[in-house]
Chain A
Amino acid sequence: MIFLLQKTLIFTIPLLIVALAGMYAERSGIINIALDGIMIFGAFVGALIAFVLRKTPFFVDNNQLTFIIAMVVAALAGALFSLLLSFSAIKLKADQTIGGTALNMLAPAIALFVIKIFFSKDQLEMGRAADSSGKMQDFGYVILNDDVGDVGKIFFDKAYISTFIAFALFIILSIFIYKTKTGLRLRSCGEHPQAAASVGIDVNKMRYLGTTISGALAGLGGYIYIATVANGTASGAVAGMGFLALAIMIFGNWKPLGIILGAFLFGFLKCLGVIYSQFDFLKNLNLPMYFYNLIPYIAVLIVLMFTSKRSRAPKAEGIPYDKGMR
């Protein structure tokens, strides 16, 4: 049971952070369907940086520092990559869904192209490297800490600093969008940009801000995903986590509290689907494994079915801002 909770927590983090990314973009009025692509791109760049840094023993000794640097770089890469979307959506007033889809196709192509050219394989491992004493160290950012009691174990054993960073970010950004002037302005651009403009808010600037924060978070989420749950390898795919995050964002009604609930629910079901055989009463049902693997996805469908009536998307999302329109 402790194991299940540990895993749920780790699995939830990338979903949480990427769903928040989606929220930031959509609240500013830009549909960011490219979350998946940005995750892939962030994961790839982060893995590349970690791979390069780990050639230097200093960064192998200071594992957590490497992790933080790689996360920062992944976030920057995500932000830069998302500029493609915001440029096409804001400056060129292009259809946002198509722009996002283009990014989703571009990201794995770039990642795989580079990995295949330079490494002759289909995934980039952050791999083993020598520390300053010349001893080879396996890749891994995990912090082991057995000595903290059962409840403590859930949070501090086999933990990653990314979990705490992500929670901190989540809280800060949730406060930011609700309690600050800029946050309020950003939200108004997603509801009624013309009204916002009439009181002197620069709609385009706000939308660039929202999409860029969104890109940074998605890039960060992508790297956290591969570093903690997906084998420590960048492979040009994130198993559709970006789209799941999108669904979680809708489930959460574009609100932080709903998002955190959805992320935990989905993370829990996903983990349960993989390790159900650890629980005797589930194992004794003798259902095929595919049934359990399906649960999280079916659950999302069902939950969306019941909640979509109440769902309140930002009114102006997806509509290119046109000053003349009222």
Chain B
Amino acid sequence: MSVTAEHLTRRNPSATSKKRPARRWALLPLLVLVSLPLLMLLLSWASPQSDTWEHLRAHLMPLLVRNTMLLLLVVGAGVTVVGVAMAWLSACCEYPGRRWLDPLLVLPLAFPTYVLAFIYLGVMDFSGPIQTLWRGWFDSSPALLTALSQPAGVLFILILAFYPYVYLLARASFISGGLAAFEAGRSLGVGPLPTFMRVALPIARPAIVAGLALALMETLADFGAVSIFGFDTFTTAIFRTWYGLFNLTAAVQLASILMLFILVLLLAERFSRSSRPRATERRSGGHRIRLRGWQAAAATGSQVLLVLLAVVIPLIQLVAWAWPNLPDILGGSMPRVIGSTMLLSLVGAFTVLLGGILLLLATHRAPRRWVALGEVAALGYAIPGTVLAVAIMLSFIRFDQWAGTALAGGLLALILAYLIRFVRVAWGPLDGVAGRIRPEYLEVARSLGVSKWQRLWRVNVPLLWPGLVTAFLLALVEIAKELPATLMLRPFGWETLAVRIYELTAEAQWELAALPSLVLVILGAIPVFVLIRRATLVK
């Protein structure tokens, strides 16, 4: 079992793409759907807002650009280091507690970012329990915690909230290929660290980058956490321009700049990657590296610490706040709210997964222009949720007026909005895993006379399995947490837990929102636990 030069040979993308061009057209319906709201954003430039722009440039831009860059750099570095390290341990090593820690490490995804933010603000604030206790003992403020208010606090929260994207995607990639490559490298007598850096890491690079891209786009589009911590970013400026200056046009122009900036970054990354060797296939049968002594202690210890910070402490605080209302958990309208959250999440996640598969079909080993189109189709994730929701609502209403339909206000519109917003969340994991499927497998199967559907079911699906599971899981928890589009597009009576949290926190009464938050996290935990196990067991 060795990684030979033949495995690493570069494939010529156009050679394979010429054989089956038809599937690429699967992209078109998706592209049309997504481009409607994006066009709405770009149309804003038709009316110049020079007055507002002059104001923004003079008084806000320097600070905003500095703050936003700081966020991108620190959160990007943080989620990459934490996510990759934890994923490598979970996927390829053996140490005490691994099987329990693995799903727990994904659980922060079930917390909406603003919930995590208000919990930590409650815990660490000057008037919160820790600082109050400290002042009681020492008669002075703990310098470290005071400093945490901002920007360190907001960076800390965002890293805790977003590292699971890198973790999940890198983990799927390591499981389906990293370990075999690592063993091969070790068998050639190369030390563990160089092997990891030079073999395992490059193989997982597309997956890591896809996870990092998700995390950074979430960071750029985040409004909840940064506004709770009072940290001004590009996104807070978008909302200040809209709500404060009553200038939605200029706000949308700001958002479209953000969108183009992200598109350029994504394409640059894509095209710098495509000239490098592609990784090899997955190999089953690799053995986990058994960690012993201090190594095992360090592995378990670091993961336990992370789970404490990102899951246990927030959960304890939520339970403490929700405690007086805990009997209401299944009373009143709660069952209906839980029901519609689950229904919307499942239907939405399945739609998003289908969209992701279409994107994969259209872009996998495709010429550059198709990949670029795919990136455009998946841009919805890079736009602050409320701005995108308005753009989607406007385009549906315009479409209704033009076609005489009644999409807006119906469930279909909401599901389509989820597709536009989250298709990248499904495409990323699929793309990360599909990069390592060798076309030879399909050719062998074809030469053995296996029918098209059999090939799909018995070759493609098992090979893609970790990616499919990851994509579905991510879409599921993302939709359960989604707020702006749900608020704006839900039909009457369709309330989700996120909507309920919003309604209770509009005036910063965090404690009231603890109960629905807790239920949301518990609901999110179920698919995390089930699916993570499945993704590991499939060989």
| Chains A and B belong together in one complex | no
Chain B residues within CB distance 8 Å of chain A? none
Chain A residues within CB distance 8 Å of chain B? none
